[in-house]
Structure 1
Amino acid sequence: MRDELLLGIDLGTSSIKANAIDRHGRSMGIGVAPTPFATRAHGVEMTTDDLFAAIGSAIADLGVLASRVSAVGVASMGETGTIIRPDGPSDLPLVAWHDERGTEIVDELVAGFGADEVRRRTGRQARSVTSVAKLGWLLRNGHETGGTWTGVAGLTVWKLTGALAQEQSLAASSGAFDPVAGEYDREILSFLGLDSLVWAPARVAGTPFGRVTAQGAAWSGLPVGIPVTIAGHDHPVGVIGSGGDRTEVIDSMGTGEPLVVAWDAAASRGAHPSWPDQLGDLTVTAWPGTDRHMLLWETLRPGLAMRNLQRALRVDRDDIEFSAIRVEAEGLDLPTLVAMQDGHVSPDLLRRPAQEAWAATLEGYAAASADAEVRMRALSGVTGTTLLIGGGLRSRRWVEAKLRRAQHPVAMAQEREAVSRGAALLAGVAAGWWEAEGYPPADVIPLSGSDAAIGSVSGHA
């Protein structure tokens, strides 16, 4: 039917979005609700009931559009999840991925296996953000952990369909999954005392994981019987929604700034890529909807650093962006940027004029990502365009700094709701509207060094 729509649900750290798109990939309406994380006695968390209420509110915000949905795709933050038992979800708190709980679990894991071995087994560094770190902490603090583990996207699919499922890129964020072999690491799970758990099977995004039941329809207002899929982890799904493809380097400019490239795991004969520790975190995950893999460099958190700098300088964000446009400054080095992300703003930086401090920080981030991009291209063999996506495109000064260092053509994605759109596109695969990667195109603008091209980036012209 011509009036059918696809629904993409984005379970983000700050907000939940329900995006209804048509057959041309255009958004017809977006419902939004705040993600109900709250700071409680042990840290940042939310309850399952509060999450369900927020998702229901975002879908209800679509009004009559919800009745026209013919398939659903769910993308989410990684790591955060819960256990589902035969009688429903457990009462475990849904611990925020960025919560510090689990640091001691990671220390034990590294002591037991070695950092290099954990990376070899899982395609990522051992970090406190992983699901196993949170689960280990919960187990040590009196919580029962028997049942089937899945992330918040899988929890949403269960609420809609009754099915227990997980998707590959989200399984990779657990900290105990080999994305190349496609299997959970039983030795890591046993070492952490988590081997009694059942881990929902990790399947390819776009696969119909279940269909909306009568109970799911009563909760959500969506039609009974429509297929539901897990689209995947928000960064990979955002690449799909913004129009990125396997020939490009995708630079997601935002609170975090992951660089993304496609990677041929077969060519490595099952080995994970080698990446020097001093260059930061490189992780292996799945390219949504395919059997290919994706590399993400995830060291940079520009949004956090700029927020900390803004507070230290006591300036208005728009004012400092405007005043720094024509300011020349040498970029800060990577250790200084990483320290700023953790809240440690250099006193020397604060002694400079505010616009110079701002420009130096943006130049530093542009230089760091440019250096990582060269290395990632060499590692992956990707030779195409650099595609800039994300909210950081609003900063003309930042984009200019990137363009000065560009060694390949640069383009700018126009889609601002990339994750929810990507989730909806993968719902289209589940519905049979198109094959994976046969999606309706997204709007992309080629950039050059001219003022005319850069002026389209921001209102600060």
Structure 2
Amino acid sequence: MSAEPLLLAGVDIGSTHCKALLCDASGTVVARAQRRTPRGRDGHSHPADDVIAAGLGALADCVRAAGRSPEAVGLTGMAEAGVALDAAGRPLGPVQAWSDPTPGPYADRLSGTHGATALHRRTGVLPSAKVPLAKWCAMADLAPGTLARMRTWAGAADLVAHALTGHVGTDATFAQRTMAWDPARACWIPELLAEAGIGPERMPPVHRAGRPVGPVTAASAATTGLRPGAPVVVAGHDHLVGAWAAGVRGAGQVADSMGTAEAVLTVSAGAPDTVAAAGEGMSWGRHVDATHWITLAGMQASGALVEWFCDRFLGLPGTSGPERYAAFAQLIDTVPAAPTGLVVEPYLHGRSSPRPSPGAGLAIHGLRPAHGPAHLARALLEGAAHHARWMTDTQAVLAGLAPAAVTLLGGSTRIRAWTELKAAVSPWPTLLCGEPEAPGLGAAAWAGAALGLDPVTVCAPTTDLVPDPAAADAYRTHHRERFLPRVTATPPLNSPLNDVPNDIPRDVPNDKEHPA
């Protein structure tokens, strides 16, 4: 009788849900579970113990469904959220969400002291309220007692790994979102940490890709059904880990992660033009394999446009996500799958990239009496699709290579009309990831690396999206002749390039000089 196949676990600690899955070494998923990520009353925090319970609860649900334990566990999740831990490893408050606006003035102070573009060139990210360095500076001013007791910092995924193993550790793709880590030299930056009155010794250890933080403890095994001693890996930033699972791994590959917000990332062999990337509001850093580089851009409201439309025009506030999306999709199907003639600037919460413009708003041009709610709904998706192409085109210039293919992944891909629009708007091959929980699958793949398995062998299935030639020609003409002239007509506001001296070098240290 043959032995049962080895199982790997992947857990994704997200801002809305904690999701878990179990798969075999080839990536075939055998169990899934999810639990709601708890949120504090302020809307900008998550009770730490409840986050741990949700993450471990989803994992335990998978183990029960499969009837046996995985051999290794990988964790991914939201990047900038985290919490201070004391010397005993206890959280010193709730997990601070990436959306917390409180650190905003401290990000401005860092920008004033060091220069936004100089910080970006050194760390890969621009100053904002969400970066942990701004959180630590705020803590030093507003809660100095808490900062004094902080022994180390744990991101959301790190926190659950600590609950499983008793050890704190993180991954470079999380560290590079703090604005206190040097992606080129792979080290913490003491002079930036000193802005908050702390040093590198109070930062979590950063493990190489696939190296375990520690083994599952007997106590954790008893509550989750895991095997004591199973290795636990912090796989890294969810956008990057999901892209890896979807096969976006080599130079020229692009991932378009479609959710409430949207992220586009391009993989390259070397770092992009960092000064130009700062001007475009895009971050850069290492990919999860620690070999390739990525350029990352975000659109703050993508799926949020659908939510806004459902609330305002479909009378569906408070209904579940699937029900809302189904009603929205049915409405879109009542109009032709062709350009609406409307030009939508899809900036519900400003534009972060390209050409950052915080004051940009949602604008609809060309509305006529013949247009109805269904045209408006489709036009919103058109605007989002055009903007995603603009982000991808811009990254191609920054990275110095044309996209080989763009892979769509994330919850919003369940709207078929949207993925068809993406393929029609884009002049490159467009693929659709068939795994709905790509970050969890990627985390499981990197958990397997702790057992000596090659994470390359775990890859989600994808399908080619081939647009109708006439629709593709019409949408690409619209992009070139109507969308781009509209969104580029107004100079960007508060460009970070305004604070950078002209003599800042544009190069990034290469790997031979500074091994990463």
**Could you say whether these structures have the same fold, taking a TM-score greater than 0.5 normalized by the shorter chain as the test?**
yes
Distance in 1, matches of 2:65 and 2:425, equals 48
- Offset of 1:33 from its aligned partner? 1.1
* Partner residue, 1:46: 46
Structure 1 pair 66/290, CA: closer, same or farther in 2 (3 Å)? farther
Mapping of 1:139-150 within 5 angstroms?
139-142=140-143, 143-145=145-147, 146-150=150-154
Aligned to 1:76: 77
The separation in 2 between residues aligned to 1:196 and 1:205, in whole angstroms, is 20
Give the aligned CA root-mean-square deviation in angstroms. 2.8
The residue that corresponds to 2:302 in the other structure is 302
- CA deviations 1:303-332 (Å, max 9, x no partner) are 122322332223542333323453532453
- For the 8 Å contact 1:45–1:94, the answer to whether it is kept is yes
Partner SS state of residue 174, structure 1: coil
Partner SS, residue 258 of structure 1: strand
Q: Which moved more, 1:342-351 or 1:321-330?
A: 342-351
Mapped to 2, the partners of 1:45 and 1:110 lie a distance apart of 25
**DSSP 3-state at the match of 1:61:** helix
Alignment partners' CA distance in 2, 1:383 and 1:47: 41
What secondary structure does 1:323 align onto?
A: coil
Q: Find 2:448's aligned residue among 428, 448, 455.
A: 428
Q: In structure 2, the residue corresponding to 1:275 is in which secondary structure?
A: helix
Shift, 1:230, TM fit: 0.5
Contact 1:101–1:133 under 8 Å retained in 2: no
Change (3 A) 1:64 1:303: closer
- Give the whole-Å Cα distance in 2 for the aligned partners of 1:409 and 1:47: 43
Aligned to 2:61: 61
8 Å CA contact 1:331, 1:362 repeated in 2: no
| Matching of residue 355 in structure 1 with residue 402 in structure 2 | no
Unaligned runs of 5+ in 1: 455-461
In the alignment, the residues of structure 1 paired with residue 344 and residue 58 of structure 2 have an alpha-carbon distance, to the nearest angstrom, of 41
For 2:340, give the aligned amino acid: A
The match for 1:14 among 10, 13, 16 is 16
Q: 420, 423, 435: which is aligned to 1:403?
A: 423
State the partner residue of 2:261. Answer: 256
Between stretches 81-90 and 420-429, larger displacement belongs to 81-90
Pick from 157, 165, 168: which aligns with 1:153?
A: 157
- Partners of 2:247 and 2:460 within 8 A in 1: yes
Residue in structure 2 matching 1:449, options 459, 467, 472: 467
Number of the residue aligned with 1:208: 212
Once the two structures are TM-superposed, the CA of residue 401 in structure 1 deviates from its matched residue by 2.5
Q: Whole-Å Cα distance in 2 between the matches of residues 202 and 229 of structure 1?
A: 11
Residue 204 of structure 1 contacts residue 291 of structure 1 at CA under 8 Å; is this kept in 2?
no
Aligned residue for 1:297, secondary structure, equals strand
Percent of aligned pairs with the same amino acid: 27
Judging changes above 3 Å, is the alpha-carbon distance between structure 1 residues 190 and 34 closer, same or farther for their aligned structure 2 residues? same
**Paired position in structure 1 for 2:178:** 174
State which of 360, 368, 372 in structure 1 corresponds to 2:387: 368
Secondary structure of 2:11 counterpart: strand
Mark the CA change 1:384 to 1:344 in structure 2 (over 3 Å): closer, same or farther: closer
1:102 matched to which residue of 2? 103
Q: Among 324, 332, 337, which residue is 2:343 paired with?
A: 332
Q: Tell me the residue number matched to 1:458.
A: none
1:85-138 per-position Cα deviation (integer Å, ceiling 9, x unaligned): 332223222111112221111111111112111211211111111112223333
SS of 2:431's partner is strand
SS of residue in 2 equivalent to 1:144: helix
Deviation per CA, 1:210-265: give whole Å up to 9, x if none: 11122332343211111111011110011122232324211122222211111233
Closer, same or farther in 2 for the Cα pair 1:172/1:332, shift >3 Å?
A: farther
Contact 1:205 1:231 in 2 (8 A): yes
Deviation at 1:427, TM superposition (A): 0.6
Q: Deviation per CA, 1:129-155: give whole Å up to 9, x if none.
A: 111222333333225123111212112
CA distance in 2, matches of 1:300, 1:45: 19
Residue 440 of structure 1: which of 458, 462, 468 is its match? 458
**Contact conserved, 1:340 with 1:346, CA < 8 A, in 2?**
no
User: Taking structure 1 as the reference length, what is the TM-score of the superposition?
Assistant: 0.88
8 Å CA contact retained: 2:405, 2:429: yes
Per-residue deviation, 1:387? 1.5
Deviation at 1:28, TM superposition (A): 0.6
Measured against aligned partners, the alpha-carbon deviations of 1:429-453 in whole angstroms (never above 9, x if no partner) come to 111122x4x22332111121249xx
Show the counterpart of 2:499. Answer: none
Q: Tell me which residue corresponds to 1:459.
A: none
For 2:146, what is the secondary structure of its paired residue? Answer: coil
Give 2:97's aligned amino acid: A
- Give, as a single letter, the amino acid of the residue that structure 2 aligns with 1:290: A
> Which residue pairs with 2:87 in the alignment?
86
Q: 2 CA distance for matches of 1:325 and 1:184?
A: 53
Structure 1 contact 331–367 (Cα < 8 Å) conserved: no
Q: Hey, what does 2:505 align to over in structure 1? A: none
Q: Contact 1:328–1:356 at 8 Å: present in 2 too?
A: no
Letter in 2 for 1:250: A
Distance in 2, matches of 1:416 and 1:422, equals: 12
- In 2, Cα distance between equivalents of 1:117 and 1:411: 36
The letter of the residue matching 1:234 is: D
Secondary structure of the corresponding residue to residue 290 of structure 1: coil
Change beyond 3 A, Cα 1:72–1:325: farther
Residue 134 of structure 1: aligned partner: 135
Q: Encode CA deviations 1:185-234: one digit per residue, 9 max, x unaligned.
A: 22222123344861012222311221112233234321111111101111
